[in-house]
Structure 1
Amino acid sequence: MRNTARWAATLGLSAAAVCGPLTGASVATPASAPASLYAPSAMVLTIGHGDNAATVTPERAVTLTCAPRASGTHPAAAEACAELRDVGGDFDALTARDDVQCTKEYNPVLVTVQGVWQGKRVDYKRTFGNACVKDSYGSTVFAF
């Protein structure tokens, strides 16, 4: 039951993040004109405690839209989008900062990202040893 509720919440947030920007006022454009010059970049990021995506209940979820402009419920959307652009949308390329020291306590934190980055599907999961380790990666992307 928990897993069903988690997936329902994630899918609902994903749909809102991806489809929300598309529900604006209708504007008459020529049939040959593209709807946007930017490929969509909209994602839902979640955080939960545990190391198994099937059993972890998200404790916090935010939306992040990077194209055509940075927006969403992420507290630092513009900075997070800039960091993702710097690594080409590759979440694995976000590395820990050298100026952060964390304890070796194992209290796993699972981060998931689902959505679209520049028109390509994103389905990312990463388990960090603890919240300090998570916060040391990508100064703003995972800080919510």
Structure 2
Amino acid sequence: MRNTARWAAALGLTATAVCGPLTGAALAAPSGATASLYAPSALVLTVGHGDSAAVATPERAVTLTCAPSASGTHPAAPLACAELRGTGGDFNALTARDDVLCTKEYRPVVVTAAGVWQGKRVSYERTFANECVKNAAATSVFAF
């Protein structure tokens, strides 16, 4: 239960920090101003060890904003945004690299994504067998 509260607190605070300015910008537009030409894309990405987000302790969290331009605390924001755009924001469609060989060690790593992708709410969770499998399958999006 304690880990669930940590995940909820971490995701809630980070989502507020990332998505809060997006909602205020729409309200602050002067009358007669043209509407934004892009839908917001702002995500909070987390990585932790465990079988699911409910029991895992979050170890790292970054923000990724892809519209209007790539930014955030993600170390490779432009590349991660390009990969997500290539899949239309479908995390399950991120392809695994063929040139990686991983051990069969079981040390589960759980990744989550929460926020907004092109104006639509996103909530994603996936568990990988180990760090090597995560890095091979999730390309640069969860490489932080």
- Which has the larger displacement, 91-100 or 132-141? 132-141
Matched residue SS, 1:59? strand
The yes-or-no answer on 1:3 pairing with 2:4 is yes
CA contact (8 A) 1:14 1:44 kept: yes
Deviation at 1:3, TM superposition (A): 1.8
Deviation at 1:22, TM superposition (A): 5.8
CA contact (8 A) 1:3 1:54 kept: yes
Q: What whole-Å deviation, never above 9, does each CA across 1:79-127 have from its counterpart, x for those lacking one? A: 0000000010000000110011100111000000000000011000000
Aligned equivalent of 1:132: 132
Deviation at 1:32, TM superposition (A): 5.5
Q: Structure 1 regions of 5+ residues with no counterpart?
A: none
Q: Distance in 2 between matches of 1:109 and 1:141?
A: 14
1:5–1:83: structure 2 CA closer, same or farther, 3 Å change rule? same
Q: Distance in 1 between matches of 2:4 and 2:95?
A: 30
Aligned equivalent of 2:143: 143
Across the aligned residues of Structure 1 and Structure 2, the Cα RMSD in angstroms comes to 1.9
- Displaced runs of 4 or more, over 6 A: none
Q: Structure 2 regions of 5+ residues with no counterpart?
A: none
Deviation at 1:27, TM superposition (A): 7.5
Deviation at 1:43, TM superposition (A): 0.3
Q: Distance in 2 between matches of 1:62 and 1:68?
A: 18
Number of residue pairs aligned between Structure 1 and Structure 2 = 142
1:118–1:99: structure 2 CA closer, same or farther, 3 Å change rule? same
CA contact (8 A) 1:50 1:107 kept: yes
Q: Distance in 2 between matches of 1:55 and 1:117?
A: 26
Q: Distance in 1 between matches of 2:73 and 2:61?
A: 9
Scaled by the length of structure 2, the TM-score of the pair is: 0.91
Aligned equivalent of 2:66: 66
Deviation at 1:37, TM superposition (A): 1.1
Scaled by the length of structure 1, the TM-score of the pair is: 0.91
1:118–1:33: structure 2 CA closer, same or farther, 3 Å change rule? same
1:52–1:23: structure 2 CA closer, same or farther, 3 Å change rule? same
Q: What whole-Å deviation, never above 9, does each CA across 1:5-45 have from its counterpart, x for those lacking one? A: 22111110011111245667x976333521x2110000000
Matched residue SS, 2:135? helix
Deviation at 1:140, TM superposition (A): 0.9
